[in-house]
Amino acid sequence: MPFCVIKSRTIKIFLAMVVVAVLLAVSFEGGAAAQVWFGYSTRLVPVYRVDTQEKQVAISFDAAWGADKTKQIMQVLEECNAGATFFLVGFWVDKYPEMVKAIDEAGFEIGTHSNTHPDMAKISQENIAKELDISSEKIKAITGKEVSLFRPPYGSYNNDLINACSQRNLIPIQWDVDSLDWKGLSAVDITSRVVDKVQNGSIILMHNNADNVVDAVKMVLERLTNEGYKVTSVGDLVYHSDYTIDRNGVQHSN
């Protein structure tokens, strides 16, 4: 009988732990990110991909160093009737204000990629605020438009950063398809990486001044279009309100 009592208690404790684990694992609705519970701590998660039944994906370009290929990229995008988002670093905006204006006037979306391209998870809350505010203000001064998207340099983030984004109505954006174009891959290899990994709601990461990026963008867009995908900006893909984000960074509409 003592053995049965102990066994019964063990089963009850185990079942209770399972229930608690399930409850803590769910995502909670947030302004800019979902709260995902791990043990007794809460981790905030940005958007890596969007849950959608539509064959729609977003293509994005991080701009920090150089601008030589940006006009050519925009020309290819226009020829393929594709949208795109350019995530700009503040010092890039300082150096290429006319290019910022050209991107905006061409109808492409602009998000911030910080002001000085630091590892945002390794700086103070005060400096996080400066990185977001200064870079957003620089972009707005040229375009006259509020910035609504932020991509952290190196994809590095923490709760302080996500909270700071939420306070500013910025949606933090990651990616689920990395072209690795910055490694100097050929246009064919870049295209293969993207097309092989893309799915409904994917966010594609590219760089505006990478080697072979112009040819790669053309090939990627042609392949995706032939496969029935609509290629848009990140802002046209993501949900801006009434959403949740699961622990894998997939954004779901409520």
b/e 25-61 (16+ beta carbons within 10 angstroms → b): eebeebbbbbbbbeeeeebbbbbbbbebeeebbbbbb
Residues 78 and 39 in one domain: no
Residue 139 belongs to a domain with what CATH number?
3.20.20.370
Residues 133 and 202 in one domain: yes
Residues 40 and 65 in one domain: no
Residues 133 and 14 in one domain: no
Residue 181: exposure state from Cβ atoms within 10 A (0-12, 13-18, ≥19): buried
pLDDT at 21: 46
Count up the domains in the chain and report the number. Answer: 2
> pLDDT tens digit string along 190-209?
999 999 999 999 999 999 99
Residues 237 and 149 in one domain: yes
Residues 89 and 16 in one domain: no
Cβ neighbours of residue 195 closer than 8 Å, sequence gap 6 or more: 220, 223, 224, 227
pLDDT at 8: 53
Instruction: Identify the segments of the chain with pLDDT beneath 70.
Output: 1-41
pLDDT at 42: 84
Residues 162 and 247 in one domain: yes
Query: How far is 24 from 39, CA to CA, in rounded Å?
Result: 8
Q: Which two tokens stand for residue 86?
A: 């350019």
Give the global pTM.
0.85
Residues 133 and 237 in one domain: yes
Residues 55 and 35 in one domain: no
Residues 53 and 160 in one domain: yes
Residues 26 and 119 in one domain: no
Q: What are phi and psi of 156, to 5 degrees?
A: -95, 130
Residues 174 and 68 in one domain: yes
pLDDT at 41: 53
Full residue range of the structural domain in which residue 33 is found: 2-44
